[in-house]
C-alpha cells in the first residue's frame, strides 16, 4: 500500500513494561496522563520496531517531557526505569 506509513511493532513484553510505566505516569500527573501516554506511545512506535528493553528508555523520556518540575520529572524517570526488567 503506497502512501501509508509503515506499521511498527514492539515485543509484547515491552508493551507490558510500557503499561506498567503508564500507571506510574498517571499517578504522577493525574488522569489526563492516560491521553498523554497514548500519544507518547504512538510517537514512540512511529520511530521503528521496539525489540529490546533499552528501547523503553526512549518511551520514558517522551513521557517525562510532560512533567515540568525537574525534581518530580527525575523521580518519575527513576521509578519508570525501575520497571524496565525482563
Encode 48-60 in three state secondary structure. CCECCHHHHHHHH
The values of phi and psi at residue 58, to 5°, are -60, -40
Supply the range of the domain harboring residue 53: 31-86
Q: Report the number of distinct structural domains present in the chain.
A: 1
> Between 82 and 2, whose confidence is greater?
82
- Let me know if residue 19 belongs to a domain: no
Nine cell digits for residue 1? 500500500
- Let me know if residue 71 belongs to a domain: yes
- Let me know if residue 79 belongs to a domain: yes
The mean of the pLDDT values for the chain is 92
What's this model's pTM, rounded to 2 decimal places? 0.88
Q: Burial, 52: exposed, middle or buried (Cβ in 10 Å; 0-12, 13-18, 19+)?
A: exposed
4 pLDDT higher than 80? no
- Let me know if residue 68 belongs to a domain: yes
- Let me know if residue 63 belongs to a domain: yes
Amino acid at each position: 500500500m503506497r502512501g501509508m506509513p509503515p506499521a511498527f511493532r514492539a515485543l509484547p513484553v515491552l508493551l507490558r513494561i510500557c503499561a506498567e510505566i503508564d500507571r506510574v505516569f498517571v499517578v504522577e500527573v493525574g488522569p489526563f496522563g492516560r491521553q498523554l501516554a497514548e500519544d507518547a506511545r504512538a510517537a514512540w512506535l512511529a520511530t521503528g520496531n521496539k525489540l529490546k528493553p533499552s528501547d523503553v528508555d526512549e518511551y520514558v523520556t517522551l513521557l517525562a517531557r510532560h512533567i515540568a518540575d525537574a525534581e518530580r520529572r527525575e523521580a518519575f524517570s527513576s521509578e519508570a526505569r525501575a520497571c524496565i526488567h525482563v
